[in-house]
Amino acid sequence: MIQLLAILGMLFTTSGSLLVTGSDGRVTDLRSLLKSQAAVVIVMKSGNCPVCIKQLITLSQRRPDLSRLGAVVIGLNLDGPKQNASLERRLGVKVFGDADGRTLKKLGLWIRTSQSPMPGAVLLNRCGEIEAVFPGRSPGDGRTETILKALRSVAAKPVCGTVI
């Protein structure tokens, strides 16, 4: 319950930039990458986390569904450009780094005690606003369908910030 309240608190404090580093070393705002698309950001401890990678792969295998809903899947971790470039080549999914954890903290998936990301997923609407946070990294627990259901709700909104 406390964790949920902490996450809910983060949902309302995501003002400012969500800076990430691409595999090419360029720093950019995650919101600018959306190009009027929604995004499911898979938060990984690192590119070496097998369960995190499985979650990224499981969701990316649903690209046709994501595309119909106007969304993309993106990986986010603390790794540097070189490690993420290797991961992108292996998986065929864009992966960004957040070396200082600032964006991960804003997304609500940060463990203060260990100063590390909490694996999970964050659903951003096409304006870059957080719509939902799915903490945890269990790809086999129906999470993909839950994320797609939430994404359908986001896709049905005609304008960002519109409540259905």
pLDDT (tens digit, 0 to 9) for every residue of the chain, 164 residues total? 334 434 444 443 456 789 999 999 999 999 888 877 888 898 888 888 888 888 888 888 999 999 998 899 999 999 999 999 999 999 999 999 999 999 999 998 888 998 989 888 999 988 888 999 988 766 555 778 888 899 998 877 766 655 54
Could you tell me the pTM of the whole model?
Answer: 0.84
The CATH number corresponding to 2-156 among 3.30.930.10, 3.40.1360.10, 3.40.30.10, 3.30.428.10 equals 3.40.30.10
Amino acid in the structure at residue 31: R
CA-nearest of 141, 123, 164 to 7 is 123
The domain limits of the chain are 2-156
pLDDT of residue 85: 96
